């Protein structure tokens, strides 16, 4: 994908070089209310999905784990708590406002050791080859401009035997649920965004970005194309979300 091509920004087509900046603006606006809005929009179910990610990862003490698009810290905190002493977390997010929220939350919880906060791009990770034991990303891969490039760089930084786990929205598998979910997404979520965060447009983009993201089997094929082995996926809540797993062998 060259800089002269267009790419999806929700339902819009924008020049490739503009998407990252537009996404950054969205998350600048929603950072302070991001977790609250996730709770309201999902009825708290996003926390159960993230717990499933941590369960499947099953981190161990002494591992170094990179959490991408994890600025508010909730996934990193849960992984570190499960892994125990010596679990090193690198939290990377392209958005400085999100990283600031996560750092503040860590300080408020008295979490200082084993957490490194980095403002960076998932497409060009500022890490050496084969330097981390696992990479996680929750609800962030759909906002990446060049997914293939990001997946290749994730593969690069993983040690041999390292694992990639991705939690992302998917395509609902049950027809009745799909119709209800679509109405809720496009009619209710932007209204909640306006009422709670004063920003309907950002949440309209987030809903559109979910609708444009490929179904789980198609995204699993992208993970395999990046060089991962033993790629699997699990549908969550009737396909509203999906967990993807792949290994660098």
Whether 2 shows a pLDDT value over 60: the answer reads: no
Q: What is the pTM for the complete model shown? A: 0.90
Instruction: Sketch out the chain's domains with CATH numbers.
Output: 6-174+203-248 (3.40.50.150)
Which pLDDT does position 107 carry in this prediction?
Answer: 93
Does the pLDDT of residue 1 top 60, yes or no?
Answer: no
Q: Report the pLDDT averaged over residues 95-115.
A: 92
Side-by-side strand order, sheet with 241-248: 115-119, 88-93, 64-68, 132-138, 158-169, 241-248, 229-236
Confidence of residue 33 (pLDDT cuts 50, 70, 90): confident
- Predicted confidence (pLDDT) per residue in 219-237, tens digit: 999 999 999 999 999 999 9
| Model confidence pLDDT, tens digit, residues 155-197 | 999 999 999 999 999 989 888 889 998 999 899 988 988 887 7
21 has a pLDDT exceeding 70? yes
| Mean pLDDT, rounded, of the chain | 91
């Amino acid at each position: 994908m060259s800089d002269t091509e267009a790419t999806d920004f929700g339902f819009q087509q924008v020049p490739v070089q503009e998407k990252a900046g537009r996404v950054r603006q969205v998350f600048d606006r929603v950072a302070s209310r991001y977790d609250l809005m996730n709770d309201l929009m999902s009825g708290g179910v996003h926390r159960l999905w993230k717990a499933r990610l941590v369960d499947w990862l099953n981190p161990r003490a002494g591992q170094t784990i990179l959490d991408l698009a994890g600025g508010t810290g909730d996934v990193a905190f849960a992984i570190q708590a499960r892994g125990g002493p010596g679990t090193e977390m690198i939290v990377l997010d392209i958005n400085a406002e999100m990283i600031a929220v996560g750092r503040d939350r860590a300080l408020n919880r008295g979490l200082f050791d084993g957490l490194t906060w980095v403002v960076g791009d998932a497409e060009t990770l500022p890490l050496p080859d084969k330097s981390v034991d696992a990479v996680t990303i929750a609800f962030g891969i759909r906002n990446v401009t060049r997914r293939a490039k990001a997946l290749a760089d994730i593969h690069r930084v993983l040690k041999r035997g390292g694992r990639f786990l991705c939690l992302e929205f998917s395509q609902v598998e049950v027809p009745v649920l799909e119709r209800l979910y679509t109405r809720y997404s496009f009619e209710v979520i932007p209204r909640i965004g306006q009422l709670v965060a004063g920003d309907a447009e950002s949440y309209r983009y987030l809903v559109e970005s979910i609708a444009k993201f490929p179904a789980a089997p198609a995204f699993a094929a992208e993970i395999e194309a990046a060089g991962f082995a033993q790629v699997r996926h699990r549908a969550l809540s009737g396909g509203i979300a999906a967990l993807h797993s792949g290994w660098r062998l």
